Each structure stands twice: as structure tokens, then as C-alpha cells.
Amino acid sequence: MWEDEKRMTFTEHLAELRIRIIRSGVAVLVAMVICYIFSNQIMVGLQKPLTLLQDLGIIVFSSNENTNNSGNSAEKVENSKEEKSSTTKIPFVVLNPFEIVILKFKIAGYGGLILALPYIIWQVCAFVFPGLKPNEKQLVKIILFGCSTLGIIGVIVAYFGVIPLVIPYLLQWIPQDWEVQLRANETISIIVLLLFGFSLAFQFPMIILALVYLDLLSPNTLRKLRKYVIVGLSVVSAILTPPDPISMIIMLLPLVILYEISIWASYLIRRKPQTA
């Protein structure tokens, strides 16, 4: 009787869903405005892996090099004083006056969704949790925590590992007499897609553990499917990374390790119902 009293009518469910969607939409709009205001700072953060490469001498842009070597002695002294600031700037190329505005809107869109994502997830859980059983609620909590943790790990791997290693590998194919210029819109978009791709790819173990928890997969099945899964992960890594083997391997290795960890974790998940 108590559960029946808690149940809402279909109209009440629609009304609550509408409220949750409106709140989530407002949160996204507010977050997008905030990200647009701080879009310059966000762009500096996104290009930080490239500036680190330039500071280490792995990438040397000719515009900065010409600036440091040109002018009279007084200008050289002034340039030497500003050497640190000049070496940490990437000479991006903008081809039209609307490109930077479009880039700022892209950053505001991506950043707004990411910034408002915790609030959106909270709204979804507030709408769905009343209709779930205790074991289903526990599963959702585990999935949310695991997906958030793995997503952050994926972004860290891409930001500090993939971008600093892949971009020098790609740039070394450029002839020495060619000037290296990076278009702002395309370069920032590639960096964002790499971060998103790694964050998405690292969700793979949580999908496996959820299927094991729901008795749709078993640890023995995961061990038997290891070879096929590695082939599938190779294809996914090739799709989500730039067209070069180095970035593909950098994504593939962590995914294979996470798959092996998920196999061992699946044994623990299967043992819990037996000991309960």
C-alpha cells in the first residue's frame, strides 16, 4: 500500500519530467554563458600541452623564432626579457574575422555541457531513482562513480600523455623548409575531440561490469572473448584518434589494461551474491 501511495500518475510524471528538463536546460545555458566569458582562459588551458612542447624545444614555430632573432640589440634585449612569455605563446592562424567567434561558441557549447553535466545527472537521478529497486539504485551509483572517475582519467591521459606525444610525431613528417602554422579553430577542435574521445573510450570497463552485474556476461565469457575484444578495441582506438599508429597504441594499451582489470573485478562482483 505504501508503494502504491508513492506512485505518481502519468500526467504527474510528465510534469516532473518537464521541470527536470527545464532546470537542466537553464543550467546548460548559464554554464555556456560562463564558459563564453572565460573562453580565452579555456583556450589557453587547451593549448597548454602545445606550449609545453614549445618550451621544451620539441616544437619551434618560425614566427616566434623570427621574432626572437630579428631587430637591433635593444630589441633583442627586450625580447630576451620577454623570452619566457614569447615561448609560451602558440602563433595560431585565423583565416576570417568570424572564426574566433565560432571557436568561442564551440568552447562555450562543449564547456557548458561539461560544466552542467553533474547537475544534469543529479536531475536525471532525482527523476529515475524513486522508481528503482535498492539493488538497481546501487548499480546506478556504482556506474556513475566509475564513469566519472574513468572519464577524468581518460582526460588526464589524453591531456598529459597523448597530445604531447602524438603532435610531435605528426609534425616530424612536415618538411624542414615548411613553416608550421596552426589554425586556431581546427587545432582546438582536435584537442577537444581527443579529450572527449579518451573520456568516452575509458567508459568501456563500466559497461562490462554492468553487464556482469546483470548476469548478461560471466568472467569466463570475458576471458574467452579477450582476442575479439582486443581487435574491437583496436578499431575503436583507430576511429577515436588521429590517423597515426602512435596515438592508436597510446589509447589501446590503457583500454586493454582496463579490460583485464574488469575481468578480475567481475569475479568479485560474481562472488558477492554467493556470500550474501
Judge whether 71 lies within some domain.
no
Judge whether 207 lies within some domain.
yes
Judge whether 165 lies within some domain.
yes
250 grid coordinates: 597510446
DSSP output for 70-118: -S-HHHHHHHHHTHHHHHT---EE--STTHHHHHHHHHHHHHHHHHHHH
Judge whether 40 lies within some domain.
no
Amino acid present at 72: N
Length of the chain: 276
Distance separating alpha carbons of residues 112 and 41, to the nearest angstrom: 14
Judge whether 106 lies within some domain.
no
Instruction: Note the pLDDT of residue 79.
Output: 47
Judge whether 76 lies within some domain.
no
Tens of each residue's pLDDT in the chain, 276 residues: 334 445 667 787 788 889 999 999 999 999 999 999 998 888 888 888 777 666 666 566 555 454 444 445 444 444 444 444 444 567 778 888 888 888 899 899 988 988 898 898 888 888 888 777 887 787 788 888 888 888 888 888 888 877 877 776 677 777 777 777 778 888 888 888 888 888 888 888 888 888 887 788 888 888 888 889 889 888 888 887 766 677 778 778 888 888 888 888 888 776 654 443
Instruction: Note the pLDDT of residue 1.
Output: 36
Contact predicate 87/64, CB 8 Å: yes
182 in helix, strand or coil?
strand
Compute CA 57 distance to the chain's CA centroid, rounded to the nearest angstrom: 27
Distance separating alpha carbons of residues 196 and 157, to the nearest angstrom: 11
DSSP output for 186-199: HHHHHHHHHHHHHH
Instruction: Note the pLDDT of residue 59.
Output: 60
Judge whether 275 lies within some domain.
yes
Instruction: Note the pLDDT of residue 204.
Output: 81
Distance separating alpha carbons of residues 230 and 144, to the nearest angstrom: 25
Instruction: Note the pLDDT of residue 60.
Output: 61
Judge whether 98 lies within some domain.
no
| Closest listed residue to residue 52, CA positions, set 213, 155, 165 | 165
| Structural domain containing residue 269 | 133-276
| Closest listed residue to residue 170, CA positions, set 85, 262, 257, 245 | 245
76 grid coordinates: 633583442
Contacts of 190 (CB under 8 A, 6+ apart): 242
Contact predicate 183/214, CB 8 Å: no
Indicate the number of domains in the chain: 1
Instruction: Note the pLDDT of residue 27.
Output: 93
